[in-house]
Structures are given as C-alpha cells and as structure tokens.
Structure 1
Amino acid sequence: MSVLLEVIATTVADARIAAQEGADRIELVTAMGEGGLTPSVGLIEAVVAAVSIPAAGVPVNVIVRPHSRSFVYDADDYAVMLRDVRAVKEAGANGIVIGMLNANGEIDRDGLSRAIDAADGMAVTFHHAFDETRDLRAALDVLLGFDAVTNVLTSGGKASVLNAQPTIQELVKQAAGSHCTVLAGAGLTVDAIAGFVSATQVEAVHFGSGVRVGGTGLAPVDAEKVAQVKALLNVSGIAARVR
C-alpha cells in the first residue's frame, strides 16, 4: 500500500478536488494563513457530504482551534473547543485535529483528556502545537499514552519539515508499532516528496500549500499536483493507515 496522503481543504471545492485526485484524508480548516482555525458547521457538513459520495468515501478530519494567539488555552477557550468538538462529531466528520500546551511548553494532558472525552470515539490528531513543545521526544511519549490519539502532525520542530528529516526519522522509529502515526507536514513539495519519504520512512504526509496553485496558501487546490504526489506515494511501498 502507499503512504497516506492528507490534504488541507478550506472550501468544498478544495475537498472535492483533493478526493477526486486520490487524497486519502482531508483536513478541513479555515484561516489557513493563521495555521488553521475551526471552520463553520455549515462548511463541515457540506465537505463531509461532498467527499462521501464515492462508495468508499474520504475521511474528513476537522481542526478545532478557537484562535491563533497561542496553544495555551483558558477556561473560556476550552468551553468553546469542547462545544466545537461535539459539533464536529454531529456534523459527521471522521475526527478532530487539536492541540494544547501548558505555560511550560508541555502537552496539556488534562485539556487533551477532556477533548478526547468530547470526541466520543472520533479519531484524534494532535496538530502542530507539538512542534512548540520543549522536547519533541518527551511530547511524543505523552501522546503515545493516549490511545485515542492516532496521528501527530509535525514538521520536526522546524518551519519546513524538509529541514528536519533526521528528527522525523527518529520520531517515526519512536512511534513504530504503536497506535499513533507520525504525520509529516509543512514545506513538502511535489519535487521533494519521494526523497523525503525514502529518507524518513514516514507512513503519512500532510500537504497544504505544496499542492495548491502557485504554491500559495490562499490559492485553490491544484488537481494536477495532488495527482502527482499520489502517484509518487503509490510507488513508495510503505503501508498507509487511515485513521
């Protein structure tokens, strides 16, 4: 099987194109330029409906992030986030993409536990907040203690994951055989993907700007680029796990 391909969508059209061209999973966000914020319920419902038309369907994971100030949240933020998590489930999504830290730069275990409870069985991806932790290996150990966390999205602590290949390789080894897949993303391009996968042995990759028209975040998804990435991943020979 091929390496799993996750593509960011910000519109129904984005999601439809990505699904048609072979994306294995959609991450639905709004405000991509701010790192992604929680989309509206209407958009979630429309995207889930649009990519569920094929027989197998494409899973939609939805970011739950109330603002872009930081990943340290107060009680009001959590109240909003937990309501949004429940709304995402009600809208028919496959999972949530979420992350929270404490003031010491560590994963907020209590906050994550509360989000998992609200998710009520949905898949949970811990997002790029992971890259702002003080110790990535220690943070991954924390996440491996949560059975509900099936993916950790990371750029290896760098602005571009292409500059963090040794770190990604270490994280992949650390997570090997567990319930949690290292989802590598940020800075990936069509030209670089084959070499990156070969070097790191990742089982899942995450594309945003790299599969958009002109390589810019505000542009629509480029069907040809998604198809190219999918074709390159199909010959990688690494098993994908859709979660």
Structure 2
Amino acid sequence: MAVLLEVIATTVADARLAAQAGADRLELVTGMGEGGLTPSLGLIEAVVAAVEIPVNVIVRPHSRSFVYDADDYAVMLRDVRAVKATGANGVVIGMLNAAGEIDREGLARAIDAADGLAVTFHRAFDEARDLRQSLDVLLGFEAVTNVLTSGGQPSVLHAEATVRELVQQAAGSQCTVLAGAGLTVDAIAGFVSRTQVDAVHFGSGVRVNSNGLAPVDADKVAKVRALLDA
C-alpha cells in the first residue's frame, strides 16, 4: 500500500495546490511560525468546500505550552464542535499534564466533543517524558487514529531508530504513526524505507524555498508523491 502523504495548508490556495499535486490529506493550521494554531471558521469552511481530500484541522488555542487550564479546554471543546459542524474529516489535538504525560482526561473530553471525527494526536507527543509509554496511552484510545511525531527530535530525520520502534509498537493497532517535522524531498525515500512508516507529514519541506511561511510548491508535492509511489 502506498505511503499516505499529509501536507500542511494555511490558505485555500495551499489546500488546492496540495490536493491537485497528489496529497492524500491536509492538516489545516494557522500560525505556522508558532507550530500551528486553530484556524478561523471561515478558512475551515472554505477549505473543506475547495478540496475533495480529507481535511484535518488543528485545535490548539495558543502556543505557550501543551498544558491547558479549564478555560483553554472550554475554548478547545467549542472549537472541536465547530470543526465537526464544518464537515472536516478530523481534528488534530494534543495535551500534556504538568508531569509531561498525556493528559488522559483532557484527551477523553476532546474525543467526546469530536463525536466520531478522526483524531490525530499532534507533536505535543514529542514533548512527553516517555514516548513509548505515551504511545501506549494513545493506543488505549480507539478514537486516536494517528500520532504525529518527530521521534522526540527537532527533525524526524535525526530520530529514525525511534520512529522505527514506534511504528513497530503501533503495528496492528488502529493508530498510524505519522512522521513529520524536517522531512525533505531528497530525504524521503531513504527515510521511509529505513523506518517503514505508513504515513508522512510535510510542512516547510514542500513549500517555496522550504520556507514555512511561503506557499505550497506543487512541484515538490508531486515529487514526494512520485517517490512514495515508487
């Protein structure tokens, strides 16, 4: 089976270009420079209307940390329900407690609000104290269908052994390890063959001049698609 290609979109134009060039799924965010924040309702609705491929929407109220207070949760749960109403495919969420563990109660509440939407746990995972233990926690939540990870490193290219272990740990479960952060067109083929990942996530790596704040480069997306299909 071909490796799934997810591309970050920050505008309707990004979404259209990525979809036309062969992305399988979009992660819709705003605030790329802050690691991705909840996009506006208008943007979510417009992107869902503009493309045929699944759109997963990040719900992250601020970039201070992944430890959230009661008010943050109130905002996130409202946003999750709003995303559900747009017809998007899923939400991308992540939350930790002060001890650096997955916040199970907060995750359960978000899953409840998502009401059947696909749930991706984002790179809050990489800031958890113990990645293997954290993945075990996520595998206990049936609704969590992806975990986005760079293997705990700033670039996933420096964490191939860890990613390979996580892929093995998740094998046969409902949860796919989605490898991202630092992937490039040049590195992708070797990375996939060494880690055996089933899904990859591109942001800056498929943008003009590899700049996270630049538009999607359709040629780069098409190249990655061709390499994954080969």
Normalising by the smaller structure, the TM-score range is over 0.9
Output the amino acid matched with 1:119: A
Match of 1:106 in 2: 101
Counterpart Cα distance in 1 of 2:192 and 2:66 = 29
Match of 2:2 in 1: 2
Match of 2:41 in 1: 41
> What RMSD, in angstroms, separates the aligned Cα atoms of the two structures?
0.3
What is the CA-CA distance between 1:139 and the residue it aligns to? Answer: 0.1
Residue ranges of structure 2 left out of the alignment (5+ in a row): none
What is the CA-CA distance between 1:49 and the residue it aligns to? Answer: 0.4
What is the SS of the residue equivalent to 1:96?
strand
Higher relative CO (CA 8 A, sep ≥ 6), structure 1 or 2? Answer: 1
Match of 2:67 in 1: 72
Match of 1:199 in 2: 194
Q: How does 1:74-89 map to 2 (within 5 A)?
A: 74-89=69-84
What is the CA-CA distance between 1:85 and the residue it aligns to? Answer: 0.1
Counterpart Cα distance in 2 of 1:124 and 1:21 = 25
Output the amino acid matched with 1:133: A
Counterpart Cα distance in 2 of 1:82 and 1:204 = 27
The answer to whether structure 1 residue 95 and structure 2 residue 75 are counterparts is no
Match of 1:167 in 2: 162
Output the amino acid matched with 2:211: T
Match of 1:31 in 2: 31
The answer to whether structure 1 residue 137 and structure 2 residue 112 are counterparts is no
What is the CA-CA distance between 1:127 and the residue it aligns to? Answer: 0.1
Output the amino acid matched with 1:46: A
What is the SS of the residue equivalent to 1:130?
helix
The answer to whether structure 1 residue 61 and structure 2 residue 80 are counterparts is no
Counterpart Cα distance in 1 of 2:193 and 2:43 = 36
What is the CA-CA distance between 1:37 and the residue it aligns to? Answer: 0.2
Match of 2:203 in 1: 208
Match of 1:228 in 2: 223
TM-score with structure 1 length normalisation?
0.94
The answer to whether structure 1 residue 155 and structure 2 residue 150 are counterparts is yes
What is the SS of the residue equivalent to 2:197?
coil
How many residue pairs are counted as aligned between the two chains?
230
Output the amino acid matched with 2:208: V
Residue ranges of structure 1 left out of the alignment (5+ in a row): 52-56, 236-243
TM-score with structure 2 length normalisation?
1.00
What is the CA-CA distance between 1:92 and the residue it aligns to? Answer: 1.0
